[in-house]
Structure 1
Amino acid sequence: MKLASLTNNLELNETRPAIQVLMETEAGKEIRIAFKKGQVMKEHKTPFPIVVEIFEGAIDFGVNGEIHNLKKGDLISLDGGVPHDLKAVEASTVRLSLNKADSTKRVEGVVNQ
């Protein structure tokens, strides 16, 4: 059994979204991305399917150039290879569910672009 929290020990970064691996299991990885208002993750792709949950706040989630206004409680799933970007409309906490074969280093690289 493993326990994690989307709200405990929440840290923000002044210049870019803050990424923290919350849990890693045999099936996948759960990552928290904490955004200050206006912070972005530039367009990128993942090699594997993902699920993104807006746990708190609001995100403009771009998929192939189309903006989806996601708010607290919304979920979106994408297949691998689909270009997408995120912009925090307000301070937001996002939960990213990754395939076990995907790399958290790849996600960190996107944030550091």
Structure 2
Amino acid sequence: MKTASLTQQIEYHDTKPSIQVLLETESGKEIRIVFKKDQVMKKHKTPFPIVVEVFEGQINFGVNELNYTLSKGDLVALEGNVPHDLMALEDSIVRLSLSKADSAQRVKDVADRS
């Protein structure tokens, strides 16, 4: 058994979203993305399906040139190779579920380039 918390040991970065791998299992990875208001993750895509959950706060989720406002408790699932971007409308905690074949480093690289 593995455990993790979405609400403990939260670190905000001043200039970019903070990325932390919470759990890694045989089937996938659970990642916490912590945004300060107005921080962004520029348009990017992953070769694998993902699920995004807004655990706290509110984000603008852009996909296929459309923008969706996601609030606490909202989830969205995307197939692989779908370009998307995120912008925090307020301080936010986002849970990202990745395929085991995907890389947490790829997510960190997207945040670093945003």
Task: Indicate yes or no: 2:97 matched with 1:97.
Answer: yes
Deviations 1:1-25, CA, capped at 9 Å, x for gaps: 0000000000100000000000000
Deviations 1:2-49 (A, max 9, x none): 000000000100000000000000010000000000000000000000
5+ residue gaps in structure 1?
none
Question: Aligned pairs, how many?
Answer: 113
Which residue identity lines up with residue 91 of structure 1 in the other structure?
Answer: D
Q: Which secondary structure does the structure 2 equivalent of 1:26 belong to?
A: coil
Query: TM-score, normalising length from structure 2?
Result: 0.99
What stretches of structure 1 move > 4 A for 4+ residues in a row? Answer: none
Identity %: 65
RMSD: 0.3
TM-score norm. by structure 1 comes to 0.99
- Aligned equivalents of 2:105 and 2:9: distance in 1? 21
State the one-letter code of the partner of 1:96.
L
Describe the superposition over 1:72-101 as per-residue Cα deviations: whole angstroms up to 9, x where unpaired.
Answer: 000000000000000000000000000000
What runs of 5+ residues in structure 2 fail to find an aligned partner? none
